Structure 1
């Protein structure tokens, strides 16, 4: 009980991305640019989908939810990092540290399952177009999204509860710009054997959506290869290209960070998390809007709608 009380009242020190003053100034400026761009970009995607009835279909419903997750994910660490830099502080409370870890894991898992749902949607649209509206019904889409949130939070909760029970006796310097499970386990003076087992179990659960994505695109490739016309092949790959780009960015950084031994983690690996936590959520709206003519049209209509409302108010 005494150890738990000590843990609940102590503060951790966030070392940042590199721990070097000049480099931290650079990342502060980078985050100061990334954060509003991420919020605005993803909000525009959501608003464009809401206001344009032509985009009220499963593909864009899932995209809107992906944008929502990206907004929340960017809010987990960046605001605290910016505030700490401005105040000249590096501290975070034990409760705040656990909260960051919980939401990072929960939102990261939710993101991966929504990406899997989007892959399933594309696979059904290409391989079974006549049954698309039946399989990807509104009820099915809602269940996919709700299931993504439930699994994401269910996977995060055990890690957070187990970490909350650990003792931290000496060094409390977290080798990252936010509280992540890997550097926290390295700092603990408790037995982390069970925590590590749960972490690898979580990595296995995290691999399930990737497996779904791979199976979906194998099905897509098999269907496309049976299409005799080059036009059909180009159309199929154009609808999947944006999603594949996002998947490659997302899983490339996540696997580089978490799919390896705990002992190999160090502060230099925090640079990888910058891509996962900040760059990828910022790039997603650009990837989907620049490669998607329907989204471009919807965004133009949204801007025109906004301008017309402003003109009416001025009159």
Structure 2
């Protein structure tokens, strides 16, 4: 096997370096037997490129100045906004950069994408979802879950159950099955495009992964690490604006109505099926894009170690994924 120097993925022309981490383990607040895992979610609007102070209830926009990142702050002089302070490491961890543009997003517990759910096959998943949006209802669809005997937990708005109104809390309760790499997302309106999605990984305890070698020899490899990669096609405008453009067939003029640039025409697959109803703007990997990224997404992996990634898409455009500098 050739040395495992690094693992790269690309979305359009963006390249990122990912890390081989530890093996995935069930998360959440699980009981001693591990057959019930609970999660508490707060769904709300947040702005990208803003650092929030939960104690004071205030937010400060961030920007790049030279090779460092700063937050705009309030001068003692009320008519001046020139003061700037460097971001702390804690603020860097919490701020949602997306692709570096300023816009609103729909997030879970302040995260984009939402926190991953990782459970063993057959675990009872309990998710308490509280809607803190201003005026929109929400539902969560658990993509890939068969929902045997619990069809009312499927999260399809006005079909499985009524939407969760602002200020209300709804508890989803279902068995995680089948094993595999799945995802959850909003199933009402266009909230998924604004960030209401995340990974849902169902592990098979004591699973044996078979890998075929050139001589068709079957072995049970020991993975050095696993990690989750989510891809998201991010727009510079909130999804409600994009939705209105599509309804009125205005997306052909996106992103500039007052320019005479060539019109956008939907990309077609070989069978004639359309890909993406609006122009591709930016790609995010695990909620981070190329612009204003102040930390690398990952590090190098160890030579000759076997790693595995779980890919969770949240997009309507097609993406190309490249694995570089290694033999597969």
TM-score bucket of the superposed structures, by smaller chain: under 0.3
More strand by share: 2
More helix by share: 1
Q: Normalized against structure 1, the TM-score is what?
A: 0.24
Q: Normalized against structure 2, the TM-score is what?
A: 0.23
